[in-house]
Amino acid sequence: MILFFGTRPGKTELKKLEGVACPHCMQINTLTATVIPNYVHLFWLPLFRITASRFVECFHCKRVFFREEFTQEMERALNTG
pLDDT digits (tens, 9 = 90+) for 10-67: 899 999 999 999 999 999 999 999 999 999 988 878 899 999 999 999 999 999 999 9
Tell me which H or E stretch contains 30: none
This prediction's pTM: 0.80
**Burial grade of 60 (CB within 10 A; 0-12, 13-18, 19 or more):** middle
CA distances from 57 to 25, 40, 47, 71 (A): 12, 27, 30, 13
